[in-house]
A and B are shown apart, each in its own frame.
Chain A
């Protein structure tokens, strides 16, 4: 177990290092290191099930495998055990040399990045069938309006089918859908001119769009700047296929002269990060902005956005603007300005906008993402990926029907959606206030960015992880700040786009987790103090905290 945990730590550090810290070594060394770690991880993953098989019943020994399979411990519970039994069953007991190094790397990174998600998938909360299951407030998935969407998608206009929908089509997306997306974005982004369907490329989801963009804009080893904390999926996407580096532009929570509000992005910080990267010999090709920001919930003002774009132009950088949450601004006092609404873009040929329906329309399972770019070369190169990231013609038709139904969107869907977001946000923030948990009070997105520093002692990422596991003990999944490359330990993203019933239970578990964490911490401090006083027999530590500490 010791060995396993050490390995875990190494791997995690390595991944963090890969994604956050500038590299001194050359690419080859990194790859070798990755490969080595990947191999090690796989060997242990493969080895443990074989060992575990010899125990009866298998469940008792499975959490150790869970640890390894996930790369990070998920606490002891029968369900978790069973879940991970299946999970590790998916691996083979024979050590495999069949995969390439990058194949091993991909598998390992996937396990590290999606362990919580897999935990949840294997043991979901259900109000009748599985009340002890996990509640997932970690994955940014919108579950507030699935009823409305399910109803809309069941209407008779959705079932149309014709020959073109079943045949090969334009790999950039069906012309009718590209046209509709252009119209849709023209309207909701309030563009000064009509958007051109020829500038739209449609792929199966925003990760695919981002992944393909990274391929066509960067060569392996080149980099994007990304203000952090930032959506962790980018790090995953760039590492998996395109081998593009992300250089974090670290933002700070403290309000100072240079920092008008917490985590403010300024050109000064962008320039510093760029300079740092250049000194290290990194080739920076672009800047990634998320607006509305994930996980902060910030919406950039027009002026700030213009400054960022001017900065990019000055240094000849592409700007990828992810506007995934553009219709999820629920506070009426806030006006969202799409980058497409600008009268004149500083560098239109290097400004690329991503939007999809996963968040704004509650249909993450639909797999739809769109790129809008004025740059035809980029659009053409992206289109090559149409094969690999294609969407069913039937789904494209349904999306078209959905997006063209403005009456439904404006009069039924968006008002209900925003109202529900407001309600859920109000409920969660009230709870947080009652618990004296500081948070960023913003009016967009599906999440609040909360500060649990007071529960960390010392304030380290290790402690952050312990707190995260505490929530897992209570069958609650939150995303720790480290997954967003946040520089300061103790921040968490909490998704509130869930139904009231679920949210209530989740917040109860949240509270229980915090209380327990605080108590055990106090007990431990007392024990330590006692230990120092009386250097005689040591009281036996309970199993689970011991495991967590090791």
Chain B
């Protein structure tokens, strides 16, 4: 959630122009700060940036340790926008003039399906399900195509269909075994790890069955980032990450691990052999790695998010292979965050999990994460899983699981849910994809009508929107001002700075919400933009959206 607003205080911090780099606490020479004082004419731009959370705050506290003060800063900065939103949350009946949240990446489209699956008493508890369904129906998306999930991989293992048609009775969710109430195996209950292994083998199309011993289950991917950072890096070391990226990772790897992120800056402009905006190339990775090394920053790994957040980009198998080979050359760990793996709603995209590759260049250093937060619209359930062939890494992460465990009852429910392939394949996924697609179509058409360029490839819950022409000056200060105007007009978006985007003026807009809210939200966005003079008219708006171009 903090991603939606990694506070603007960062932007307003005084920026010493010094190019002295990294290292000592309090040294402000990180990429962020330098950028904020950068004028558009200052060139060349660096192709990478070393993050340094300690540079972002100044005030100490009589009660907290110095790291405690930095830690608190993370909370305060995230909380500001969050608090504004929560004090004035939109509600159709009770607060129709409240803030609409198109900033947090959550799937609010399928709660009706999930609640019915997870809880038998759900229909009694006033779910706005019928409302959600009917309003999307009114948008005339094709009704659910139950039973014909397209392009579904063939299972390598025969999974006995579990009580077809029985999923509505849901009595399977109520089990309270005493053993579920006791201390578990800290890696996660074996029954759940077995189920997750089967699930991922199937949906990631792994060439060989994944092993439960290689799984570690804990309370969300945030914890996984934290644990991996701690066991793979010493304090002060770093991971590479292509930017723009999901900004909360900065916090996850820093809090306990004291690990930094080196941004590999991607460009909106398509140059050379590139085929799409913000394309990640091995060359850019090499440059960033070199740059970091030259500054004395020890890089231990590479983080890839696939499908990407916020770009909605999907890496091709060849690209993936390239990145993995790069990592192998430099003995880097690769952490692949596939948390949107089942949220690819555009069939033509052809998503491939890294686990589906026939041969991983460096299996001992490839670690895959998945969670139900996004794909099953259950960010509040707190379930995440690591798959790694490296037993040492699995053991080390498991050693930390005492601090990141999830309730035995939740583990039981999770296993029940993941086991129910009939429901997933025939009800949930088709419906979810259809709703995502409809919502995406609605928003992208709106944007097109406004003449606003955007990036979106048919995966994830968001569109990466180019509002650069609405900034009087290409600065992050102006970006925040525009973001504020949206908030004043009661719609919450996420600005590009929160994703470490190096070009001011990009925003992430989340579309996975109910129609009426989305409509109202888009209306409010439009109001702001229409009242905003377009200052950069001289640069003709490039249409960089590319729904199904030659390179898909």
Contact = CB atoms under 8 A, between A and B. Distances in A.
Contacts of A390: 219-220, 222, 382
B393 A98 contact: yes
Nearest to B118: A161
A367 interface: yes
Interface in B196-229: 213, 219-220, 222-223, 226
A219 interface: yes
Contacts of A169: 380
B363 to A, nearest CB: 11
A117 B237 CA distance: 33
A111 B68 CA distance: 29
B185 interface: yes
A154 interface: yes
Contacts of B182: 141, 143, 146, 364-365
Contacts of B61: 377
A173 to B, nearest CB: 12
Nearest to A42: B392
A106 B382 contact: no
Nearest to B105: A168
Contacts of B68: 215-218, 378, 381
A106 B400 contact: yes
B120 A159 contact: yes
B67 interface: yes
Interface size class of A (residues with CB under 8 A): 35 or more
B71 interface: yes
A139 interface: yes
B119 interface: yes
Interface stretch (B249-257, B348-356, B495-503): B249-257
A9 interface: no
A99 B251 CA distance: 21
B255 A89 contact: no
Interface string A222-265: 10000000000000010011100000000000000000000000
Interface stretch (B108-116, B338-346, B446-454): B108-116
Interface string B223-247: 1001000111111010000000000
B232 A103 contact: yes
Interface string A208-223: 1001000111111010
A388 B118 contact: no
A204 interface: yes
A100 B256 CA distance: 14
Given A205-B405, A216-B64, A285-B65, A98 B364 contact: yes
Given A100-B231, A154-B176, A377-B61, A364 B403 contact: no
Interface stretch (B8-16, B408-416, B527-535): B408-416
Contacts of B393: 98-99, 103
Nearest to A87: B395
Interface of A: 42, 89-92, 94, 96, 98-104, 106-107, 109-111, 117, 121, 139, 141, 143, 146-147, 149-151, 153-154, 156, 159-171, 204-205, 207-208, 211, 215-220, 222, 237, 240-242, 285, 318, 349-350, 362-368, 375, 377-378, 380-381, 383-385, 387-395, 398
A-B complex: 5 closest residue pairs judged by Cβ atoms: A103-B231, A110-B399, A216-B68, A393-B380, A381-B72
30 contacts: A92-B391, A94-B364, A100-B300, A102-B234, A143-B178, A143-B182, A149-B178, A159-B174, A161-B115, A167-B106, A171-B75, A204-B382, A215-B65, A217-B68, A364-B182, A364-B183, A365-B184, A366-B181, A366-B409, A377-B64, A381-B68, A381-B69, A384-B75, A385-B255, A388-B226, A391-B406, A391-B407, A392-B383, A393-B382, A394-B381
